[in-house]
């Protein structure tokens, strides 16, 4: 077994933060009501069921053959109470409110079974499509049913990653221990059969030697895999950084690995591919890790898709008033804010609860900072093994740029954020900022995180890129030609997740 070492430019390693997800899994009962995300409301595509209809667990309730999408299933047996609009993951979507009667069992996906390897590629792709697992990963899994912007034949690489790069991360052992490795490797074999031109890469950022050996021991003899040991530094889990680390491929801002013929998915996604194809289980639930000081219990929960944040947080908050907390989907630095009524979606992995701190700490300037994180040597926690606490407080007000170079040091794109953001701030947008590499910014927000002057550097860069595109200083055609991008003739992913 050969293991390659991946290198990341810049980045930052989050260490010893309070509220880390704990080992172990709790299967959460379905709540009385679920809100199942369907699609963007702007599409105007109606569900296949109406208010008053009875539904079964695993029944397809939304499907559209004209858009790049995957079917959505009812996660429970129950009754549809309403079809309604809601704000979710920075979009207005349609959702189904379902009253749960029972969460036991599900309608099996047609064609699935343990002898899947006797099936043709088209039959396996149909199972993935009908199960809804083709929606997994940031951009979906390519099939002949238009579940992604490229076809299976265009996939050159599959990257499966567990980088341990975020502040809070799921426990890898939940998916690879106790027979999980066999499920995982068989799920890999399923993907390898439908994307038979692709090389498979597995990237792990913590205890990699141990997990590589576990995977290798369970790997079918005819399945070839390349192993990559990566540093557990944020934003190693972003598409552009993974592509550079694993394949030495460059990717411009706002594009995905799919546009370079690379499918990027997580370990849980591969296990759910196995569940769909071998056991016939549709995509009706998801394992999520609970992280952050806002939760009392930091277990992993197996929840039905559509379960609300409020249902998960009930009797599990460190604060009496939920208004004192901010709930975030997946990533502290880039994840969307969730309301208590927001549902768990098909690509949710971590639910974070942070203290919504307002105002200034008393005598903040005299505190040693035993529990504060800092890129500089400002706080005692930088030198001593104290548990650090993250909240929504900026811990300071915006000041003038110090030219400290912290944002340059951590930038994964290798650009100069402190040189670029003043151009945007002063509305001096032209070819100069393009030459300085503004489109190499991947919107990871790390520059804003480490800035001692509390300047929203990342927001400025994002605004600048938007303005440059709107004023036609650069076009999509320029990116296509410069990076050999594919899959841009199709419409963008029109799912809500």
**Cα distance from N-terminal residue to C-terminal residue, the chain:** 36
- Predicted pLDDT of residue 497: 43
- Predicted pLDDT of residue 310: 96
- Predicted pLDDT of residue 375: 82
In a domain, 382, yes or no: no
Query: Looking at residues 485-492, what average pLDDT do you find?
Result: 71
Residue ranges making up the domain that contains 48: 30-102
- Predicted pLDDT of residue 339: 95
| Model pTM score | 0.94
In a domain, 375, yes or no: no
pLDDT range class, residue 376, cuts 50, 70, 90 = confident
In a domain, 158, yes or no: no
50-71 tens-digit pLDDT: 999 999 999 999 999 899 999 9
In a domain, 354, yes or no: no
In a domain, 51, yes or no: yes
Percent of the chain with pLDDT over 70: 94
In a domain, 494, yes or no: no
- Predicted pLDDT of residue 381: 60
In a domain, 49, yes or no: yes
- Predicted pLDDT of residue 254: 87
Q: How many domains does the chain have?
A: 1
Query: Does the pLDDT of residue 490 top 50, yes or no?
Result: no
User: Between these two residues, 387 and 370, which has the higher pLDDT value?
Assistant: 387
Query: Does the pLDDT of residue 491 top 50, yes or no?
Result: no
- Predicted pLDDT of residue 369: 61
Of 252-256, 260-264, 294-298, 308-312, the range with the lowest mean pLDDT is 252-256
- Predicted pLDDT of residue 397: 84
CATH number at residue 35: 2.40.50
In a domain, 69, yes or no: yes
290-349 tens-digit pLDDT: 999 999 999 999 999 999 999 999 999 998 887 889 999 999 999 999 999 999 999 999
């Amino acid at each position: 077994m050969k293991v390659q070492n991946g290198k990341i430019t810049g980045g930052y390693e989050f260490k010893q933060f309070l509220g880390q997800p704990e080992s172990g899994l709790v299967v959460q009962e379905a709540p009385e009501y679920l809100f199942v995300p369907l699609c963007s409301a702007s599409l105007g595509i109606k569900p296949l069921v109406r208010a008053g209809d009875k539904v079964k667990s695993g029944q397809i309730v939304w499907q559209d053959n004209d858009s790049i999408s995957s079917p959505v299933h009812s996660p429970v047996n129950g009754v549809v109470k309403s079809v309604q609009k809601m704000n979710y993951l920075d979009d207005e979507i349609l959702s189904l409110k379902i009253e749960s009667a029972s969460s036991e069992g599900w309608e099996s996906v047609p064609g699935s079974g343990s002898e899947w390897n006797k099936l043709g590629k088209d039959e396996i792709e149909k199972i993935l499509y009908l199960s809804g697992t083709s929606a997994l990963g940031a951009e979906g899994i390519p099939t002949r049913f238009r579940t992604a912007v490229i076809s299976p034949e265009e996939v050159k690489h599959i990257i499966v990653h567990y980088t341990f790069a975020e502040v809070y991360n799921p426990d890898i052992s939940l998916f690879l221990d106790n027979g999980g490795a066999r499920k995982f490797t068989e799920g890999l074999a399923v993907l390898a059969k439908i994307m038979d031109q692709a090389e498979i890469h597995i990237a792990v950022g913590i205890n990699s030697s141990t997990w590589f050996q576990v995977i290798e021991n369970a790997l079918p003899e005819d399945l070839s895999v390349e192993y990559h040991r990566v540093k557990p530094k944020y934003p190693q889990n972003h598409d552009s950084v993974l592509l550079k680390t694993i394949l030495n491929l460059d990717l411009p801002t706002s594009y995905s690995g799919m546009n370079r013929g690379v499918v990027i998915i997580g370990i849980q996604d591969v296990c759910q591919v196995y569940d769909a194809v071998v056991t016939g289980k549709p995509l009706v639930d998801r394992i999520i890790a609970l992280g952050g000081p806002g939760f009392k219990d930091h277990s992993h929960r197996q929840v039905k898709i559509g379960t609300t944040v409020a249902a998960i947080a009930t009797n599990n908050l460190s604060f009496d008033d939920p208004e004192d907390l901010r709930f975030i989907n997946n990533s502290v630095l880039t994840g969307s804010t969730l309301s208590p009524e927001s549902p768990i979606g098909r690509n949710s992995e971590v639910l974070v609860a942070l203290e919504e701190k307002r105002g200034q700490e008393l005598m903040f300037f005299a505190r040693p900072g035993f529990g504060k994180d800092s890129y500089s040597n400002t706080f005692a926690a930088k030198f001593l093994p104290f548990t650090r606490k993250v909240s929504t407080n900026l811990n300071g007000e915006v000041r003038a740029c110090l030219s400290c170079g912290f944002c340059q040091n951590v930038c994964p794109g290798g650009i100069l954020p402190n040189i670029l953001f003043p151009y945007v701030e002063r509305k001096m947008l032209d070819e100069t900022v393009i030459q300085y590499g503004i489109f190499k910014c991947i919107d990871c927000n790390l520059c804003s995180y480490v800035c001692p002057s509390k300047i929203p550097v990342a927001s400025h860069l994002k605004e600048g890129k938007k303005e440059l595109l709107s004023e036609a200083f650069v076009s999509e055609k320029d990116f296509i030609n410069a990076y050999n991008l594919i899959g841009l003739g199709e419409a963008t992913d029109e799912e809500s997740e």
